[in-house]
Amino acid sequence: MIEESVLLESRTLRSSVLDRTDVLDRVKVLSLLPDGVHVTTAMVAAYFGAAVEGIRALVHDHRPELEASGYRVLAGTELSYFKQLSGIRSRTPSLALFSRRAVLNVAMLLRDSEVARQVRVHLLDMEHLARTQPVDNPGLTEPVPLDVRIDQRITHILGRTVVPMFNALIASSGEHRRELIELRQDIENVERRMCRHHKRLATPEGENPAENVRSTLKAMTWQAFEQHVVGLLRRDGCTDVVVRQTRSDRGIDITGLTADGRTVAVRCRNRPGRRTVPHADLQKFAGAARVLHRVDLALSVATCGFSHESRAIADLTGVVTVDREEVEAWTAGVRLKALR
């Protein structure tokens, strides 16, 4: 099992486990701002039983890493918009915000905190359990040929078990680091080739797979597109995936659980004739997924692009956008990164 000291020293290893934010609540309840997504510096300090100045010093020393995991400072128009969205009443000219991923990142950096130490212990226990338990995909409901099921299982194991194992080995290795990085790259190349191979097997000879995927998506009705996304979620290991029968959920079309137990809400937008998803649509979905239902993972999936304003709202609220190119790649067999 990986030692806690390796987690403290290795940014690569820390980055590989940032999605396991549920471990925070296993140790202590993390209070969130009214938006259901962010916490302030003072709230982070309270969670870890640390001084506010200590958290600020940690941010100063590791700012690029923390920004990559969701830390940001709002000011001006962006701060005003956030206050309006979340209902915060404050006259401060700037506001530092941490996402749950950023809080977990702090736990993996903060040495003088018993709460942070417990988070690291639970996190490493979960990673060890994930690597040693057999992988299963209960979402496959339709009969699939045995050789295809074996190939799919191998691809699944490569992505969810072998690559993370190499990440941990690379993080704890000194002498053979370069060789391990090259081996990991080889494994990732095999995974990509197997995904492409699966797609070629399903495509008639003489057809262009990319064009075939694009035309198939373009011909879908919005109901067919929702069912298509349901199938992709199940293929990637999600369970309890259902299409919402009512439209009173403010933009949530699909709900379910990821393979590692996170709650997920999905907004599907089949807009092949449109250029972008309007920001009002993204704002409504973000409010429903993050504030009303407080899901762990919110996905906005569209057959077009996202406007600059939409992406800004997504970044601010933690919504993961999946545009046309990503939907096509997902359809062609590439696993959606947010579900890994």
Report which of residues 137 and 322 the model is more confident about: 322
- Domain residues of the chain, as ranges? 4-129, 135-201, 219-339
Q: How many CB atoms lie within 10 A of CB 329?
A: 16
Does residue 256 contact residue 238 with C-beta atoms inside 8 Å?
yes
Q: 10 Å Cβ neighbour count for 145? A: 9
Burial status of residue 239 (CB atoms within 10 A of its CB: 0-12, 13-18, 19 or more): middle
**Of 87 and 45, more confident:** 45
pLDDT at 147: 53
Looking at residue 189, what is its pLDDT?
64
Maximum average pLDDT range among 29-38, 239-248, 307-316: 307-316
**pLDDT confidence of residue 1:** 46
> Under DSSP, is residue 124 helix (H, G, I), strand (E, B) or coil?
helix
β-strands 254-257, 94-98 pairing: unpaired
Q: What is the pLDDT of residue 278?
A: 86
pLDDT of residue 139 exceeding 50, the answer is no
Percent of the chain with pLDDT over 90: 19
Q: Where are the alpha helices (DSSP H) in the chain?
A: 4-9, 11-16, 22-27, 41-48, 52-68, 76-86, 100-107, 114-132, 146-157, 163-172, 177-201, 209-218, 222-235, 279-286, 308-317, 324-331
pLDDT at 120 over 50: yes
pLDDT score of 87: 67
User: Could you tell me the two tokens for 289?
Assistant: 């997924």
The span from the CA of 67 to the CA of 141, in Å, is 40
pLDDT of the residue at 273: 65
End-to-end alpha carbon distance in the chain: 21
| Predicted pLDDT at 62 | 94
Query: How much is the mean pLDDT over the chain?
Result: 78
Position 261 scores a pLDDT of: 79
Please give the Cα distance from 73 to 32 (Å, whole number).
Answer: 16
- Residue 133 has a pLDDT of 47
Class of domain 219-339: alpha beta
pLDDT digits (tens, 9 = 90+) for 52-87: 999 999 999 999 999 999 899 998 888 887 777 666
Res 211: pLDDT: 63
Write down the residue that tokens 């800004």 correspond to: 312
pLDDT for 140 equals 42
- Angle in degrees, 0-180, between the axes of helices 41-48 and 114-132, rounded to the nearest 10: 80
Q: What is the pLDDT of residues 194-250, one digit of tens each?
A: 666 665 665 555 555 556 677 778 888 888 899 899 888 888 878 888 887 655 456
Confidence at 96, pLDDT banded by 50, 70, 90: very high
User: What is the tens place of the pLDDT at every residue in 142-193?
Assistant: 454 545 555 555 655 555 556 556 656 665 666 666 676 667 666 666 766 6
